Structure 1
Amino acid sequence: MPNRLSDATSPYLLQHADNPVEWWPWGEEAFAEARRRDVPLLISVGYAACHWCHVMAHESFEDPETASRMNELYVNVKVDREERPDVDAVYMEATQAMTGQGGWPMTVFATPDGAPFYCGTYFPRDHFRNLLNGVADAWRNRREDLLDQGRRVVEALGAPRRLAASPPPTAADLDLAVQALIHDYDVAEGGYGDEPKFPPSMLLSFLTAQHERTFPFQSADEPTPAALMAGGTAVAMARGGIYDQLGGGFARYAVDGAWVVPHFEKMLYDNALLLRAYTRLSRRPAGDDPAAIAGRALMLRVAQETADWMLRDLRTPEGGFASALDADSEGGEGTYYVWTPAQLTEVLGEEDGAWAADLFAVTERGTFEHGSSVLQLRGDPDDPERFDRVRAALLAARAERVPPARDDKVVAAWNGLAIAALAEAGALLERPDWVRAAREAADLVLGTHLLYGRLVRTSRDGRPGPSAAVLEDYADLAEGLLALHGVTGEARYAREAGGLLDTVLERFGDGEGGFYDTADDAEQLFSRPQDPTDNATPSGRFAAASALLTYAALTGQERYRTAAEGALSVVPLLAEKAPRFAGWGLAAGEARLSGPRAVAVVGEPGEPAAEELVRTVLRWAPLGTVLTRGDGTDDGGVALLEQRVRVGGRPTAYVCEGFVCKLPVTTPEELRAQLSGEANSG
Structure 2
Amino acid sequence: MNELQHETSPYLLQHANNPIHWKAWNDRTLLSAKNENKLILVSVGYSSCHWCHVMEHESFEDEDVANVMNPNFISIKVDREERPDVDAIYMKAVQLMTKQGGWPLNVVCLPDGRPVWGGTYHRKEDWIDILQQLQKLFTESPEKMIDYAEKLHQGITLLGLVQKNPSDEKIDPANIKPMVEKWSRSFDWEFGGYARAPKFMMPNNYLFLQRYGYQTKSADLLDFVDLTLMRMASGGLFDTVGGGFSRYSVDMRWHVPHFEKMLYDNGQLISLYSEAYKRTQNPLYKEVIEKTLTFIERELLNPDDAFYSALDADSINEIAELEEGAFYVWKKDQLQKLLKDDFEVFSELFNINDFGFWENDNYVLIQSQSTEDIASQFGLTETELLIKKKNWEQLLFAEREKRPKPRLDDKSLTSWNAIMLKGYVDAYKALGNEHYLTIAKKNADFILHKQWSEEGFLWHSYKNGKSTIKGFLEDYAFVIDAFIGLYQATLEENYLMHAKQLADYCLEHFYDETQQFFAFTARNEIQLIASHFETEDNVIPASNSVMANNLFVLSLLYHNSYYEKTALQMLHHMIPHLDYASAYSNWMNLWLHLSEDNKELAICGKKALDSLKKINAEYLPNIIVAGSTTQSDLPFLTNRFDEENLLFYICHNKKCLLPNTSLEATVSELKIN
TM over 0.5: yes
Partner of 2:613: 615
Equivalent position SS for 2:649: strand
Which structure 2 residues correspond to residues 339-488 of structure 1 after superposition, within 5 A? 339-349=330-340, 351-363=341-353, 367-381=357-371, 382=375, 383-451=385-453, 452-465=455-468, 467-488=469-490
Matches of 1:625 and 1:13, distance apart in 2: 44
Equivalent position SS for 1:534: coil
Partner of 1:162: 162
Query: TM-score normalised to the size of structure 1?
Result: 0.91
The structural deviation recorded for 1:164 is 4.6
Amino acid at match of 1:367: F
Which structure 2 residues correspond to residues 512-527 of structure 1 after superposition, within 5 A? 512-527=515-530
Count of aligned positions: 651
Partner of 1:528: 531
Q: 2:214, 2:672 within 8 Å by CA — same for their partners in 1?
A: no
Equivalent position SS for 2:185: helix
Q: 1:599, 1:625 within 8 Å by CA — same for their partners in 2?
A: yes
1:641 aligned to 2:644? Answer: no
Q: 2:535, 2:543 within 8 Å by CA — same for their partners in 1?
A: yes
Instruction: Compute the RMSD of aligned alpha carbons.
Output: 2.1
Q: 1:152 to 1:89 in 2, by over 3 A?
A: same
User: For each residue in 1:534-575, what CA deviation from the matched residue of structure 2 results, as whole angstroms up to 9, or x when unmatched?
Assistant: 112100111001111111121111111111111212443344
Q: 1:603, 1:632 within 8 Å by CA — same for their partners in 2?
A: yes
Select 2:231's aligned residue among 226, 236, 244: 236
Matches of 2:39 and 2:435, distance apart in 1: 52
The gaps in structure 2 that reach 5 residues or longer are 317-321, 376-384
User: For each residue in 1:160-202, what CA deviation from the matched residue of structure 2 results, as whole angstroms up to 9, or x when unmatched?
Assistant: 7333525674222221221011111112221124111111211
The structural deviation recorded for 1:621 is 5.3
1:336 aligned to 2:327? Answer: yes
Q: 1:488, 1:629 within 8 Å by CA — same for their partners in 2?
A: no
Partner of 2:277: 282
The structural deviation recorded for 1:642 is 2.3
User: For each residue in 1:357-408, what CA deviation from the matched residue of structure 2 results, as whole angstroms up to 9, or x when unmatched?
Assistant: 2211123796322010111122333311111101111111111111111112
Q: Tell me whether 381-390 or 58-67 shows the greater mean CA deviation.
A: 58-67
Equivalent position SS for 2:507: helix
Equivalent position SS for 1:107: strand
Partner of 2:309: 323
Runs of 4+ in 1 over 6 A off after TM superposition: none
The structural deviation recorded for 1:106 is 0.5
Matches of 1:8 and 1:348, distance apart in 2: 46
User: For each residue in 1:217-258, what CA deviation from the matched residue of structure 2 results, as whole angstroms up to 9, or x when unmatched?
Assistant: xxxxxx523212212211221121111121222111111111
The structural deviation recorded for 1:17 is 2.0
Amino acid at match of 1:302: V
Partner of 1:661: 656
Percent same amino acid at aligned positions? 31
The gaps in structure 1 that reach 5 residues or longer are 216-222, 287-295
User: For each residue in 1:490-526, what CA deviation from the matched residue of structure 2 results, as whole angstroms up to 9, or x when unmatched?
Assistant: 2111111101111222222232432222222232111
Q: 1:365, 1:372 within 8 Å by CA — same for their partners in 2?
A: no
Partner of 1:245: 240
User: For each residue in 1:393-444, what CA deviation from the matched residue of structure 2 results, as whole angstroms up to 9, or x when unmatched?
Assistant: 1111111111111112111211221122211211331111111111111111
Q: 1:621 to 1:665 in 2, by over 3 A?
A: farther
Partner of 1:48: 47
Equivalent position SS for 1:283: helix
User: For each residue in 1:565-608, what CA deviation from the matched residue of structure 2 results, as whole angstroms up to 9, or x when unmatched?
Assistant: 11212443344x1101011111122123257522233356xxxx
Q: 1:620, 1:675 within 8 Å by CA — same for their partners in 2?
A: no
Equivalent position SS for 2:210: helix
Matches of 2:307 and 2:487, distance apart in 1: 19
Equivalent position SS for 1:601: strand
1:80 aligned to 2:79? Answer: yes
Partner of 1:153: 152
1:306 aligned to 2:292? Answer: yes
Q: 1:653, 1:665 within 8 Å by CA — same for their partners in 2?
A: yes
The structural deviation recorded for 1:12 is 1.3
1:582 aligned to 2:561? Answer: no
Matches of 1:365 and 1:658, distance apart in 2: 53
The structural deviation recorded for 1:666 is 4.3
Equivalent position SS for 2:303: coil
Select 2:629's aligned residue among 628, 631, 635: 631
Partner of 1:601: 603
Partner of 1:556: 559
Q: 1:245, 1:377 within 8 Å by CA — same for their partners in 2?
A: no
Matches of 1:461 and 1:593, distance apart in 2: 47
Q: 2:312, 2:408 within 8 Å by CA — same for their partners in 1?
A: yes
Matches of 1:667 and 1:352, distance apart in 2: 53
Partner of 1:12: 11
Q: 1:659 to 1:648 in 2, by over 3 A?
A: farther
